[in-house]
Structure 1
């Protein structure tokens, strides 16, 4: 009888997960300078573990400032072969993991030329043609270009669209593109932004080793526990005793998984809203503005940087005080240290997405009963609320469940940087399923973003989220 109920619970969890994926799956084409640094291979291992939740439409081998004259599609194929050996076991945990043959067919080649040398007449490649082909498909979803190296393959696609399509058709195709590039790793990035001013583009220009948001994934932060990016953690949770895919995960040479932020925000977890970079997510938080070039740090890359000619989605700052476990009484408390910079917009979620990665690595070899699976947050009300100034209201996640039957922990908090209302809001005991609040007194319409972080007590502990946007109207 117990086995029957476990089976029913598993089927319900799968149906809920599958339904969410159908409605939230994001299309992505990856441009990777794999073999320039081991971190591209590391990021590819992680990406494949989410290939049932992200609609991978292409993986293009490209150049970069660190790999200027060759490409390495065979390295992509090697990782996919390892994925193929664990794909049947992954399907025991969630539906939708594609066959390795499907992914192998998506490997494409960019030109083995650096930057703008690979853009212009006669510079089409398998990769640039493929981007256009996917863009032209009858699919209304945006197409994300996740750039781990140089971006000249996309530049050539855009150049071809501009030359061969009507102005109206070119605008239609380009409006479907969303670009997240790990800084500028060739000279075609600034060319794209200057020549296609309406293109949605996330980038940290300038000294991408020192000041970029994406470096929050592997930066050592004084005052917090950094163990989830340690070599020991990686060996125990990813590389060793986790099957063929974990065996392909290389040791850190420069920085662990520097390319992963280019797709982290595409994972459907209840927090990530890719169309709203200003809301904050696993891949960081970004705001749309034209950076002050006089304040842009120069150095750290051989790519020459130049003033931005239009607004881009780029570095934003969070003022963040972590919650930490408390041994007695209320189970969490605010830490005594507060962090304020752009990198914190990403690393504040680092424990969560690293634990999620570790759990999925477990799926490569473990049975459903042995492994942990993420909890399922569910509200008793809409995630869009409207209240009047001073009105009492509640936030309640009473219906939340866990597919493994694990005990659940709740944490509600106000995210002021996402909200128009910036003042502190006291939630009382924020670690219960329901919090009772009173709307702030306002003189104009304000929005307040509240985040629920729902975590289980499995191993590793996994978290999912709900975002509630409360509109407060003046009396």
Structure 2
């Protein structure tokens, strides 16, 4: 009883929400969805709606339904999106008990914008403005300093139209300011407007997750959402137990069958989810550095600010899927906890712990320049759990992104809250080691908080 009262007071003190970490502002986000074809768009939307407290959502663009040639007619399906928003409204009150930053259902309704039912360069230019493209122009030109993150799940015709409009109506200086704030992640470039954008606007920050030319299309990094690693976490048995069944109206609308071959379960796919998970701030990633990796995968520059799939070592090979699936257990458990938030009282749910390193409580990457020193100490003993659960700690080097040779850095007490790091004398100056702290609670399901510390010699 005392513990519950203490937690209640904390909850009231922070304004009815659990504070998981601090950035200057929540990431601004717009998504474009080709909902109406493969049901994995509905899957990704259900997950996204449970994370809307972490974003400043500024638009949901309903673009041409399905992939090119998938449907008999060119159409858009906002009705399917409104159905999901209606289901969100049914669980909104309970979600708000866990975090008051969840947007009201009426706010989501107002952010739905209808795009072009047709796709491709032939529908870009004079006379092809849509509600969606004009809304994109409005949000791109808003007097806001923070980046605008755009996750493209289907075709990019409306984004191409918005960029065309900006180029033809704004001065070069104003255009530069707009372009410099855009952060785009495209799943597959599903029509010819994607390559057109990359060619016509080469200075844009643009991540393209796509299989290489003449390669099996399933090789793209984003498919690590459901391919590779422990695929049982994508099975209908797991999804029904932890997400779909008995978790409220919204989760009940999660489609339980789609094409996932060679994954044998034919249930969870969510090929679009890495596009927004990449922008989610959780202490592990920094969206300004796609090469560092996180829940949404890892990406390397192919040309300037254009990025393509990276790979992480997987035994004797290098796997693009692994840049996503290596985190699957963590993001699935986190999803399951939020599904509980839809219908379970606050004090019976689990919430992510807070990882604190050397007194830093934010989610920002910590840089430590050791210079000529060979030893340093990292202290996470101030980490805490909002539910009063016990914490365990795991420190390790993310070798795939580190330039410091792994054999030159030693981690002592790597399962303790206090880590001692020893670096050999002959490590080249300027080399970096990416240290990851995982702080895990013992709740149900167990949840992790992360911190990334970059040690520079």
What TM-score, normalized by structure 1, do the two folds share? 0.87
* SS of residue paired to 2:47: helix
Distance 1:15 1:470 in 2: 36
CA contact (8 A) 2:350 2:444 kept: yes
> How far apart, CA to CA, are the structure 2 residues paired with 1:104 and 1:21?
28
Match of 1:397 in 2: 380
Aligned 8 A contact 1:273 1:279 in 2: yes
Q: Stretches of 4+ moved more than 6 A in 1?
A: 13-16
Structure 1 partner of 2:413: 429
Whether 2:312 is the aligned partner of 1:318: answer yes
Contact 1:86/1:245, CA 8 A, preserved across alignment: yes
- What residue in structure 2 maps to residue 56 of structure 1? 57
Paired residues in the alignment total 434
For 2:159 and 2:236, locate their aligned partners in 1 and report how far apart those are by CA, in whole Å.
34
SS in 2 for 1:353: helix
**Is residue 2:9 matched to residue 1:4?**
no
1:284 aligns with 2:297: yes
SS of the equivalent of 1:410 reads strand
- Determine if the alignment matches structure 1 residue 372 to structure 2 residue 350: yes
Query: Secondary structure, in 3 states, of the residue corresponding to 2:389?
Result: coil
Q: Which runs of 5+ in 2 are unaligned?
A: 261-268, 361-365
Q: Secondary structure of the residue that 1:105 maps to in structure 2?
A: helix
Q: CA deviation at 1:124?
A: 0.5
Residues in 2 aligned to 1:433 and 1:413: alpha-carbon distance in whole angstroms: 13
Which residue matches 1:294? Answer: none
Deviation at 1:420, TM superposition (A): 2.7
Residue of structure 2 in register with 1:215 after alignment: 223
> CA RMSD for the aligned pairs?
2.0
TM-score, normalised with respect to structure 2: 0.90
Of the three residues 352, 355, 367, the one matched with 1:384 is 367
Q: 2:430 aligns with which of 445, 450, 457?
A: 445
Hey, what does 2:402 align to over in structure 1? 419
Match of 1:266 in 2: 279
- Quote the Cα distance in structure 2 between the aligned partners of 1:426 and 1:102: 50
Q: Which residue of 2 aligns with 1:326?
A: none
Deviation at 1:453, TM superposition (A): 0.8
Do the aligned partners of residues 381 and 96 (structure 1) sit closer, same or farther apart at CA in structure 2, a change above 3 Å counting? closer
C-alpha distance 24-340 of structure 1, shift in aligned 2 (>3 A): farther
Quote how far apart the aligned CAs of 1:448 are. 1.8
How far the C-alpha of 1:177 sits from its partner, in A, is 1.0
Q: Secondary structure at the match of 1:144?
A: strand
Q: Secondary structure at the match of 1:97?
A: coil
Deviation at 1:339, TM superposition (A): 5.9
Q: What's the counterpart of residue 333 of structure 2?
A: 355
Which residue among 250, 253, 278 is the counterpart of 1:248? 253
3-state SS, counterpart of residue 36 of structure 2: coil
Matches within 5 A, 1:4-403: 4-11=5-12, 17-18=18-19, 20=21, 23-63=24-64, 64-65=67-68, 66-67=70-71, 69-205=74-210, 206=212, 207=215, 209-219=217-227, 221=228, 224-255=229-260, 256-290=269-303, 312-319=306-313, 340-381=318-359, 383-389=366-372, 391-403=374-386
Separation of aligned partners in 1, 2:234 and 2:283? 24
> 1:146 touches 1:181 (CA, 8 Å); kept in 2?
yes
C-alpha separation between the residues in 1 aligned to 2:237 and 2:209? 30
Tell me the distance in 1 between the aligned counterparts of 2:295 and 2:419. 25
Q: 1:141 to 1:311 in 2, by over 3 A?
A: closer
For 1:338 and 1:370, locate their aligned partners in 2 and report how far apart those are by CA, in whole Å. Answer: 44
CA distance in 1, matches of 2:317, 2:283: 24
Alpha-carbon distance change, 447 to 37 in structure 1, aligned in 2, over 3 angstroms: same
- Secondary structure of 2:128's counterpart equals coil
Kept in 1: contact 2:370–2:456 (CA 8 A):
yes
The 3 A distance-change label for structure 1 pair 319 and 24 is farther
